Amino acid sequence: MVNGPSVPSASSADGTPPPAPESALARHITTEIGTTLALPRGGERLWILFLLLVITAGAAAYIMQLIYGLSVTGMRDYVSWGVYMTNFVFFIGVSHAGTLISAILRVTNAEWRRPITRMAEGITVFALLVGAPMVIVDMGRPDRLQHVILYGRLNSPILWDVLSVTTYITGSFLYLYVASIPDFAILARQGSTGNTFSVLRLRIYNFFSLGYRGTPQQKHHLERALGTMAVVIIPVAVSVHTVVSWVFGMTLRPGWHSTIFGPYFVIGAIFSGTAGIVLAMAVFRRVYGLEKYLTNRHFRYLGTLLLVFNILYIYFTLSEYLTTWYGGESVDMRLVDMLMGASHFGPLFWGTIVFGLFVPAILLVLPIKKTIAPIVIAAILVNIGMWVKRYLIIIPTMLTPFIDPKAAGATPSYIPTFVEWMITAAAFAFFLLLFTMFAKFLPIISIWETVEGVETLGAERTGVSPELQKLAGKEIQ
């Protein structure tokens, strides 16, 4: 369970008691982090414009797909899941960032999590919002989406996926919101953020703050809500990626029908999710100058976690392919030959193994403490590698049916088309846009958790700059 926030209260225009005295530390942190909430300027506007352009191009590509059907994609009778489903699995995987960083570290009282929980929870929600609709994009007749509900069968892992992803999205939204209530209360007072918010924006903050003033009773309810969500969201997240793996694993296809697919997918999801949070931290730290809050220590700790999951993923990959290869079933061997042999998947497979798994592991064990560059480079490689790995899990298996296509005189192939790449680019742009806009609406670093951490545990344990410690304990009216 979490400790109650020691942050000040929301406005009291309705005659409630005046706000409690605000500490100098709380004011300082609120002012510094509050700068991220200013309206977009210069480079930020260009960035948003660029993202909007990519999203518009992707929307146009999707409209073209709606008009002409899936014939504008590279998908045909053999390959019905292409880059869209790759994106789906990838984004669901990235969404595990919030669960790992926020929930697991919260439950285990890892206090250094405090400045990075908000980002992690945001990644979870936005990755789900972008990833889940990729299934609809993959549908040839999205106008029949309601059939999943009307005629869905509980026998089908696809329906299990719909149920678990819906539950996960709801839970992630709730978790992000509960953890943000004290910050909504801070923002509703706007003064200490150094910004001048519009009346509408203040009303929104006030509405979502639920009148939080940090009273012992309110802290008690917040603790219970947050503690409960932190516990329940972990099995939900694990079950979601397990069910995603079952969509593949429950089918009798080479490369998919494997009992380790559940844990293999879960480890892969946490692996890419951790890499995702490292990248987000690096970007926000650089863009908004948050070096005091996102310190080298945070990167080192996350780098260690990333290394652990990197090694685990190597282990699972070895176990999966060694078993398949050693078994030597003819259809499995066709898949192994395609993946590791002379086909165009060979360089992709070995490139992923080398640059997506082993090079990051080497970078992460380097004894470098003064720079975060190796960890960030490792995170970039891991994210690229994990996207390609999902591509390699889906496509080669679809090209390897039990009856050899050669026997039927067919030569199946799959090359993603421009339409697919544009929609994929738009999905990534939409994810980045949601994150950018989120950072303009809520502090990207949880103010109340950071203040509470420094005040009650010290800067050292919270992982933030020791400069902040000097301000702790001083109070201003």
- Residue 71 binds another protein (CB under 8 A): no
Query: Which of residues 181, 335, 434, 459 is near another protein by CB under 8 A?
Result: 181
Residues in region 26-65 near another protein by CB under 8 A: 59, 63
Residue 355 and residue 353: Cα distance in Å, rounded? 6
Sort 311 into a burial class: Cβ within 10 Å, 0-12 / 13-18 / 19+: middle
* Closest CB to another protein among residues 163, 359: 163
* Unique residue bearing structure tokens 């009650």: 456
Per CB under 8 A, the list member of 107, 163, 365, 410 interacting with another protein is 163
Position among 43, 143, 151, 367 found at the interface with another protein (CB under 8 A): 143
Of 95 and 295, CB closest to another protein: 95
Of 181 and 393, which has the nearer Cβ to another protein?
181
Q: How far is the CB of 229 from another protein (least distance, A)?
A: 6
Q: Considering beta carbons, is residue 206 or 462 the nearer one to another protein?
A: 206
Q: Which stretch binds another protein (CB under 8 A): 29-37, 156-164, 292-300, 339-347?
A: 156-164
Figure out which of the listed residues 38, 48, 66, 472 binds another protein, where binding follows CB under 8 A. 66
Nearer to another protein (CB atom), residue 5 or residue 303 = 5
Residue closer to another protein, measured from CB, 213 or 298 = 213
Minimum CB separation from another protein for residue 247, in Å? 11
Q: Classify residue 106 as exposed, middle or buried by CB count within 10 Å of its CB (0-12, 13-18, 19+).
A: buried
Of residues 197 through 236, those in contact with another protein by CB under 8 A are: 210-213, 215, 217-218, 221-222, 224-225, 228-229, 232, 236
- Tell me the three-class secondary structure of the chain, residue by residue: CCCCCCCCCCCCCCCCCCCCCEEHHHHHHHHHHHHHHCCCCHHHHHHHHHHHHHHHHHHHHHHHHHHHHHHHCCCCCCCCCCHHHHHHHHHHHHCHHHHHHHHHHHHCCCHHHHHHHHHHHHHHHHHHHHHCCHHHHHCCCHHHCCHHHHCCCCCCHHHHHHHHHHHHHHHHHHHHHHHHHHHHHHHHCCHHHCCCCCHHHHHHHHHHHCCCCCCHHHHHHHHHHHHHHHHHHHHHHHHHHHHHHHHHHCCCCCCCCCCCHHHHHHHHHHHHHHHHHHHHHHHHHHHHCCCCCCCHHHHHHHHHHHHHHHHHHHHHHHHHHHHHHHHCCHHHHHHHHHHHCCCCHHHHHHHHHHHHHHHHHHHHHCCCCCCCHHHHHHHHHHHHHHHHHHHHHHHHHHCCCCCCHHHHCCCCCCCCCHHHHHHHHHHHHHHHHHHHHHHHHCCCCCHHHHHHHHHHCCHHHHCCCCHHHHHCCCEEC
Q: Report in angstroms how near the CB of residue 224 gets to another protein at its nearest.
A: 5
Q: What residues from 240 to 279 belong to the interface with another protein (CB under 8 A)?
A: none
Closer residue to another protein, CB minimum distance, 81 or 414? 81
C-beta of 234 vs 359, nearer to another protein: 234
Q: How far is the CB of 114 from another protein (least distance, A)?
A: 21
Q: Is 477 in the site for another protein (CB under 8 A)?
A: no
By C-alpha distance, which of 403, 397, 248 is closest to 330? 403
The residue range among 81-89, 154-162, 254-262, 437-445 that interacts with another protein, by the rule CB under 8 A, is 154-162
**210 or 287, CB closer to another protein?**
210
Residue 384 has a CB neighbour count (10 Å cut-off) of 15
- Give whichever of 64 and 361 is closer to another protein, judged by the CB atom: 64
Name which of 181 and 399 has its Cβ closer to another protein.
Answer: 181
How many residues lie near another protein (CB under 8 A)? Answer: 37
Shortest separation between residue 171's beta carbon and another protein, angstroms: 6
Closest contact distance (angstroms) between CB of 189 and another protein is 14
How far apart are CB 238 and another protein at their closest, in Å?
12
Please answer whether residues 182 and 7 qualify as being in contact, where contact means their C-beta atoms are separated by less than 8 angstroms.
yes
Burial degree of 249 (CB within 10 A; 0-12, 13-18, 19+): buried
Applying CB under 8 A, which of residues 6, 239, 272, 450 lies at the interface with another protein? Answer: 239
Contact residues for 263 (Cβ-Cβ < 8 A; gap 6+): 242, 316
Considering the complex, what minimum distance in angstroms separates the CB of residue 210 from another protein? 4
Minimum distance, C-beta of residue 112 to another protein, in the bound complex (Å):
25
- Closer residue to another protein, CB minimum distance, 225 or 260: 225
Using rule CB under 8 A, residue 69 touches another protein: yes
Q: How far is the CB of 222 from another protein (least distance, A)?
A: 6
Residues forming the site for another protein (CB under 8 A): 16, 59, 63, 66-67, 69, 141, 143, 153-156, 158, 160, 163, 167, 170-171, 174, 178, 181, 210-213, 215, 217-218, 221-222, 224-225, 228-229, 232, 236, 239
